[in-house]
Amino acid sequence: MTWLSMAWTRDDAAYVAERMLAELWRRRHGPGAHYPGTVRVCPRCASTMHGRPTIAGPDAAARPAVSIARTSGVTVVAMTGCRSVGVDVETTALLAAAEVADVLLHPTEKVAAVREPSAWVRKEALLKASGWGLAVDPSTIRLDDSSGSPVVVEWPTSVPRPDWVMDVTLAADLTAAVAGGGQVRPHDVTVQEAGPGGSLG
């Protein structure tokens, strides 16, 4: 069974994400397990100056995938046994008020009056999981959630396509989603709210 562990806190200090990832790591590997930290690696050019975070260490295949998202006053992290993961979070009211439809929505989604906050975090989570991020035009992606769960209907052929995306409930004022690569979406999913400084207690 594929697992996905997430943690979030109302703190966006730079060190908070690493602290939450370290605690998720120890919950998987034991309280005394050494957490090696993360490094940045770009899957397109192999640069370590930018790109998505990955757990440091020589055996890439054995490392869980991780992702980090921040919005004003909030940090969210995800760690999973899936091939890749991407997470995004936004303040719902601020995103709803932003003029993002032209850059965000596929032409078909504009006609269908898709909810922009949900569409934004879903697409950004997918693009993070792909490793390309916002180097890809979000309006080239079309999602359909008529079944109750979002699925990718159209995706750029030149970009690695994640296999799943799902909404994540954090708090009434936040909109969040997580996406990843793997044959099926995780069934063993935990979402924990951390305390000040990212402590999971």
- Does residue 139 lie within any of the structural domains? yes
Question: Cα(29)–Cα(16) distance, rounded to whole angstroms?
Answer: 20
- Does residue 195 lie within any of the structural domains? no
- Does residue 190 lie within any of the structural domains? no
**Rounded average pLDDT over 145-170:** 93
Short-list 11, 179, 160, 14, CA closest to 80: 179
Which structure tokens are listed for 183? 């044959």
Q: Is the pLDDT of residue 26 over 80?
A: yes
Which structure tokens are listed for 122? 């879903």
pLDDT of residue 114: 61
Instruction: Say if CB 175 and CB 157 are below 8 A apart.
Output: no
Pairing of strands 188-193, 3-9: parallel
- Does residue 57 lie within any of the structural domains? yes
- Does residue 198 lie within any of the structural domains? no
Instruction: Say if CB 33 and CB 107 are below 8 A apart.
Output: no
pLDDT of residue 113: 58
- Does residue 63 lie within any of the structural domains? yes
Burial class (CB in 10 A: 0-12, 13-18, 19+), 163: middle
User: What CATH number is given to the structural domain containing 15?
Assistant: 3.90.470.20
Complete DSSP assignment for 52-97 = EEEE-SS-GGGSPEEEEEEETTEEEEEEESSSEEEEEEEEHHHHHH
Helix (H) or strand (E) holding 124: helix 116-130
Chain-centroid distance, C-alpha 178: 4
Give pLDDT tens digits for 94-114. 877 667 777 788 888 776 656
- Does residue 34 lie within any of the structural domains? yes
Which structure tokens are listed for 191? 């979402």
- Does residue 23 lie within any of the structural domains? yes
**Contacts of 99 by beta carbon, 8 Å cutoff, 6+ apart:** none
Helix (H) or strand (E) holding 93: helix 92-97
Q: How many domains, the chain?
A: 1
Q: Is the pLDDT of residue 23 over 80?
A: yes
Instruction: Say if CB 188 and CB 1 are below 8 A apart.
Output: yes
Give pLDDT tens digits for 130-141. 999 888 999 999
Pairing of strands 142-144, 151-154: antiparallel
pLDDT of residue 47: 81
Give pLDDT tens digits for 30-40. 999 999 999 98
Domain that holds residue 176: 3-184
